[in-house]
Structure 1
Amino acid sequence: MLQSGQASKLPVEALRAAREPDKGEVRQMKRVFGGKYALTLSGLTILALLASACSSGTGGNANLNGGNQGEQGGASGEKTKITYWTMDRHDMDYMQTKVDEYNATNTDNIVVEMKVMADNYNQAVDVAFSSNQAPDVLKVNDFPTYVNKGYLAPLGELLGAEFLAQFDGLLVDNVYQMDGVVYTLPNTGQFWRLLYNVDLMEQAGYSEPPKTLDEMVDAAKKITEAGKSQGIYGFASNFKSGSGFTRPAYASGTLDSATSHEGYNYQTGEFDFEMYRDVVEALRQIKVDGSMIPGAESLDIDPLRAQFAQGKIGMYVNHSGEPAVYTSQFPTDIKWAAAEVPTSDGVVDGVSWVNAGGYLGISSKSPNKEAAAKFVEYVYGKELRVEYQEKGLGLSVLPFVNEASGQPELKGIDGFLPTKYDGIYPATPSSITETKLEGKKAADVFTEYILTGNSSLDSIIADLNERYKKALATTRADGLTNIQADPSFNASSLQGSLAK
C-alpha cells in the first residue's frame, strides 16, 4: 500500500511503511527459489554480512586495483567497484546475468557487485548506513524513511535531463519525490483485476465479465445456483485479513472516484469513506445471497487460490502476480481470465490504483555517485526493461517500455497488461493516520459489516469519517505527514498515463 509522505525530521517508526508481501507470495518465493539465496539478517549476522560485502568503512566500495575510493576509472584504466543491494528474489538470476553483461561490456571501467538481501532488508540498510558501509545503489523499499534518514541522493543532480524526461507525468509526490526533489523512479507495479472462471461465467449466462457491481452480484448468484451442489460458489475474498476488503474495494473504489483513494479525498484533504459504499453494499449482498464461498471469514489467499484452481470459485479480485501462481504454485487446467474490476455504474471516473513503489536509489554516502548513475541508466535501458517484461518478470508502469514490449511469456498475463484506466496515485496519509486512530481500522469495520451486517452502513461511514478526521488532525499536528489538500486533483487526469 502506498504510504504517507512525512516531514524531514521525523522518527523512523512514524514513517516506516513498506509493503509486505502476503503469506502466499512469501511461500511461493520459497518454493520457487528455495533456500539457496536466502539470507537471514539479524544482529551479528547483518554485521558479518556487511563486513564481507564491503571492504572499507566509507560507503562500502573499494577500487579493485587499490588506491583511494571515489570516482575513478575512465582514462586511468582503474576499475571502480560499486555495490548494488536488492531484496527482489524473483528476478535475481536474470538481473545477475544483466549485471555480468554490464561488467563485461561497459567502457567506463565500472564493476558492479549485486547482493540479494532476502530478509530484514530495511534493518540491513539501517545498519549499513549507520556503519558507513552503505551500498552505492539500493532497492528503495521504504521511501519516506529513506528520505527522512538522508539515505538517498537527489537524482536530478546525477541523471541526464533526457533520461529523466522518460518519466514525465509519473513522478507522483511522496512515492518518487518529496518537496520537489526526485529520489527514486518507478519501474514495475501490481495491476488489479477481477479474475474469473470463463466456463462458470458462461454457464451463468454471461458472455463477458460483469462491468457493474450489480452485474457482479447477479453473476455470483447465478454461478452459485448452478454449481452449489458441486461445491461451487460465485465469489470469494480472503477475509481472514483486512486485505479481503481492500483488494476488491481499493480497485473498484479508485475506478469509481475522481477524487479519492484509501478513503482519503485529495481535494478536501480529509477522509471520506463514502467512496466505498457501493462496493461494500455489493459484497454484503453477495454474502446475504449465499454466493460467497463458505468460511470466507477465515480464508487466507493461498487456500482461495487453490479453490479457484480447482474450479470452485467464480470470481475474485487480486493483482498481476496471479498468473505466476497458476503457472507454478497452483497449476490449473481451468479456463480463466482477468478483466477490469466492476464499478457502480460501469463508468470509469478515475483509474485503477497501481501499487508501484520506487525501484532504485543512489546512496547519498556513495563516493562513486557518477558510476552509480551510469549503472542506474543501464538498468532502465529500453532493451533490458522490454526483455524483463516479455519474460514475465514484472509488468512495467513505464510507457516507453509498454509501447515497445511484446506479449509476456506467462499464461494469463494479457488480462493484467496496463490500460488507459490504470494509474499511480500520490501517497495518502492513511497508514500514518492509523497509528493515531482510536478504535478499529476501516478495513476491519467494513469486513465485519460485509460478513455480519452488524450495524447500519450509514452509521459505520459516519463513525469512520469522524475517527479518521481526529486521527489525521493529530498526525498533522505532530508533524508526521506533509500531505495536505490539493483542490486541483482529479484522478481522471491520470487516465492514459501508463498506457493509451
Structure 2
Amino acid sequence: MWKKSAIIGLGAALALTGCSSSEPIKNAEAGSSAAPAQKKVIKYWTDDRHDQEYIKELITKFNATNADKIEVELTVMSENYNQSVDIAFASNQAPDVLRLKSANTGLFVKKGYLAPIDTYLTDDLKKKFSTVLIDDVNKFDGKLYSLPNTGLTLRLVYNKELFDKAGIANPPASLQEMVDAAKKITEIGKKDGVYGFALNFKNPKGAFDRAAREILSLSGHQGLGFDLKTGKFDFAPYAEVITYFKQMYDNGSILPGAETLDIDPMRAQFAAGKIGMYLSFSTEPGVYKDQFPTQIKWAGALAPTLDGKISGTSEIVSAGTWLGISNHSANKDAAWKFMEYMHGDEILTTYHEKGFGITIVPSIVEKAKQPEIPGMEGFLVGKMDSLWPVSPTVTPEGANYADAFFKYMLAGGDLKKITEDLNSRYNTALTKEIEKGSVKVTPDPTFDPSKLQGK
C-alpha cells in the first residue's frame, strides 16, 4: 500500500477556541445574484495549519463553482481542538464538517458527533477506497464515518549547524545520547539564547504524543502506554522515557519558558536557530517552507530509542482519516458535496505533490509525483515505518498520563508511585469501557513489534 519513496506530511495543531483563526471564505459572486437565504452555509473546522493556504484556495474554488449555492466557511483551530469541539457540540454551535484524526475519530463517534456516510458512497467511491477502510479508524460497528487521505511519520528534527558547532557528528541514536547532545548545544549556545531541546509543553499531551510516542514505538513499545500483549495499560516504559526528559529539564538544556510554549512559537524559535532539536510530525518541512521560512540547515532523522537499538518501528499515525460530517448538521447533504469534492483525484494528488501529505489511497499513490520540499527527505517512509495496531482510548479519573508525567518532570516525586497510579486508573477506566461494550480488547501474547519492520 505504501510507496517506499513516498513522502509524508500533515497535521499540526493550533490553540483554543478563543485563539482560533476563523476565516470565512466567500463565494466571489456572493451578494450579486443569490439572496442570502438561498445559500447553504457549511462551517468547516480544522486543527491543521501547515496546509491552510492550499485549503483556502480549494474552498474559494468550491464556493465559486459549485452549482448548489453551498458556501464553506473555514475556521482554523489550534492546540485544544478536541475540547473546542466538545464545547461547540454542547452549546449547539457545532460545525458541519470536522477535520478528523485517528486519535479523535473514535471519541467523536462515541459521543455522537459524527454522521455515517455509507449511503452517500457511489460504486466508484467504494471501489476507490475499498482496500484502505479500516475498522476502528474509518468504520465503527459496521458504519463508515470517514474516508482516508494521508498519514504522518514522526521524526527528530535537528539543527545541523548547531550539531556541527557542538562537535556532534550524528543525530542521537539513544536517549542518553540525546541528553548529552542537548547539554553540549546548550553549553556552546546559551550565551546567545540557544538551547539544546524544546517541545510545545503548553500542551503536555500534544508534546509527549509527538515525542515519547515515537521513541517508544521504535523501542518496541506501543507509544500511548498500552501493552498489546497483555491487553492492559502499562506506563513503565513511558516512565523510563520521562526520566531522560527530566534530565534535560534539570540540567537546563530545555528552552526556558517551554512550560508555556505553544507549537508555532516553538517553530519560530527553531527557525531562528535557537533550538538544537525537537520531535514532531512530517508536517515540519512544509512549515519551514511556507509558514516560518528559515535559512538554517536542518534535517529530520529517526527518533532515538531507549537503548540505541531499534526493536520496533516508527509508527505512522493519523493514517486513514481526514474529514467527517457532523451528526448535528442541518445540511448533511451539502456537507457531503464538499467532502466529496475534497476527496477528488485532482485534490488528493495535488495535496501529496505539494508535500502536505501522502495519500494512502492506492489509485492516487500510483500516479502522484514525489514532492520536492527542503528537509522532506528525512521524513520518507522506509522499512522502519509502519502502521501499528489501534490501541483503546479511555478517559481515566484524574490527571492523564501526559499531565502526570509532566508534573514529575518539573517538580519530581516518586516516579514508581506515579506510574502505578496511572496503570491503576487507566486500567479501571478500560475495564469500565469494556463492560459497557464501548471498547473491545483482544490481548495478543505473540505480538512482535520487530515483525512490523518492512511493512
TM-score computed with the length of structure 2 as normaliser? 0.74
Q: Is 1:384 the equivalent of 2:347?
A: yes
Is the contact between residue 235 and residue 291 of structure 1 (CA under 8 Å) also seen in structure 2?
Answer: yes
Q: CA deviation at 1:388?
A: 1.8
Counterpart of 1:314 in 2: which secondary structure?
strand
The structure-2 alpha-carbon separation of the partners of 1:290 and 1:121, relative to structure 1 and needing over 3 Å to count, comes to: closer
* 2:359 aligned to which of 396, 407, 415: 396
* Residue in structure 1 matched with residue 312 of structure 2 by the alignment: 349
1:19-70 deviations in Å (ceiling 9; x for gaps): 993329997x84xxx84539xxxxxxxxxx996544xxxxxxxxxxxxxxxx
The structure-2 alpha-carbon separation of the partners of 1:373 and 1:451, relative to structure 1 and needing over 3 Å to count, comes to: closer
Is the contact between residue 391 and residue 408 of structure 1 (CA under 8 Å) also seen in structure 2?
Answer: yes
* Residue in structure 2 matched with residue 450 of structure 1 by the alignment: 409
Is the contact between residue 182 and residue 248 of structure 2 (CA under 8 Å) also seen in structure 1?
Answer: yes
1:331 maps to a residue whose letter is P
1:453 maps to a residue whose letter is G
The structure-2 alpha-carbon separation of the partners of 1:52 and 1:21, relative to structure 1 and needing over 3 Å to count, comes to: farther
Superposed counterparts of 1:138-177, under 5 Å: 143-144=105-106, 145-146=108-109, 149=112, 152-153=115-116, 155=118, 158-160=121-123, 163-164=126-127, 166=129, 168=131, 170-177=132-139
Counterpart of 2:247 in 1: which secondary structure?
helix
Q: Which of the pair has more CA radius of gyration?
A: 1
1:467-487 deviations in Å (ceiling 9; x for gaps): 22223223334x272232342
* Residue in structure 1 matched with residue 296 of structure 2 by the alignment: 334
* Residue in structure 2 matched with residue 87 of structure 1 by the alignment: 45
* Residue in structure 1 matched with residue 14 of structure 2 by the alignment: 22
Is the contact between residue 56 and residue 74 of structure 2 (CA under 8 Å) also seen in structure 1?
Answer: no
2:15 maps to a residue whose letter is K
* Residue in structure 1 matched with residue 425 of structure 2 by the alignment: 467
* Residue in structure 1 matched with residue 400 of structure 2 by the alignment: 441
Alpha-carbon separation, structure 2, partners of 1:309 and 1:421: 28
Q: CA deviation at 1:269?
A: 2.3
Q: CA deviation at 1:386?
A: 1.9
1:372-398 deviations in Å (ceiling 9; x for gaps): 989867754544322222223434344
How many residues align? The count is 419
Q: Is 1:321 the equivalent of 2:272?
A: no
Q: CA deviation at 1:230?
A: 2.5
* 2:438 aligned to which of 481, 487, 490: 481
Q: CA deviation at 1:176?
A: 0.8
1:476 maps to a residue whose letter is I
Alignment RMSD: 4.3
Alpha-carbon separation, structure 1, partners of 2:275 and 2:98: 40
Alpha-carbon separation, structure 1, partners of 2:74 and 2:193: 43
TM-score computed with the length of structure 1 as normaliser? 0.69
Counterpart of 2:416 in 1: which secondary structure?
helix
Alpha-carbon separation, structure 2, partners of 1:403 and 1:25: 39
Alpha-carbon separation, structure 2, partners of 1:102 and 1:188: 26
The structure-2 alpha-carbon separation of the partners of 1:496 and 1:152, relative to structure 1 and needing over 3 Å to count, comes to: farther
2:431 maps to a residue whose letter is A
1:286 maps to a residue whose letter is M
Q: Is 1:279 the equivalent of 2:241?
A: yes
1:74-116 deviations in Å (ceiling 9; x for gaps): xxxxxxxxx976435543334247648986xxxxxx8683523
Structure 1 runs of 4+ with >6 Å offset? 24-27, 119-130, 362-366, 368-378
The structure-2 alpha-carbon separation of the partners of 1:296 and 1:370, relative to structure 1 and needing over 3 Å to count, comes to: closer
Q: CA deviation at 1:309?
A: 1.9
Q: Is 1:293 the equivalent of 2:287?
A: no
Q: CA deviation at 1:197?
A: 0.4
The structure-2 alpha-carbon separation of the partners of 1:351 and 1:387, relative to structure 1 and needing over 3 Å to count, comes to: same
The structure-2 alpha-carbon separation of the partners of 1:245 and 1:255, relative to structure 1 and needing over 3 Å to count, comes to: same
Superposed counterparts of 1:244-259, under 5 Å: 244-258=207-221
Alpha-carbon separation, structure 2, partners of 1:449 and 1:150: 35
Alpha-carbon separation, structure 2, partners of 1:267 and 1:52: 56
Counterpart of 1:23 in 2: which secondary structure?
coil
Alpha-carbon separation, structure 1, partners of 2:324 and 2:133: 14
Superposed counterparts of 1:58-137, under 5 Å: 86-88=44-46, 89-96=52-59, 99=62, 113=70, 115-118=72-75
Q: CA deviation at 1:361?
A: 5.0
Q: CA deviation at 1:280?
A: 1.4
Q: CA deviation at 1:303?
A: 3.3
Is the contact between residue 235 and residue 314 of structure 1 (CA under 8 Å) also seen in structure 2?
Answer: yes
1:168-189 deviations in Å (ceiling 9; x for gaps): 3x43432211134433222124
Q: CA deviation at 1:238?
A: 2.5
Counterpart of 2:157 in 1: which secondary structure?
strand
* Residue in structure 1 matched with residue 4 of structure 2 by the alignment: none
Is the contact between residue 351 and residue 492 of structure 1 (CA under 8 Å) also seen in structure 2?
Answer: no
Alpha-carbon separation, structure 1, partners of 2:410 and 2:431: 31
Alpha-carbon separation, structure 2, partners of 1:324 and 1:433: 33
Is the contact between residue 240 and residue 298 of structure 1 (CA under 8 Å) also seen in structure 2?
Answer: yes
The structure-2 alpha-carbon separation of the partners of 1:403 and 1:85, relative to structure 1 and needing over 3 Å to count, comes to: farther
1:263 maps to a residue whose letter is G
The structure-2 alpha-carbon separation of the partners of 1:453 and 1:361, relative to structure 1 and needing over 3 Å to count, comes to: closer
Higher deviation after alignment, 120-129 or 343-352 = 120-129
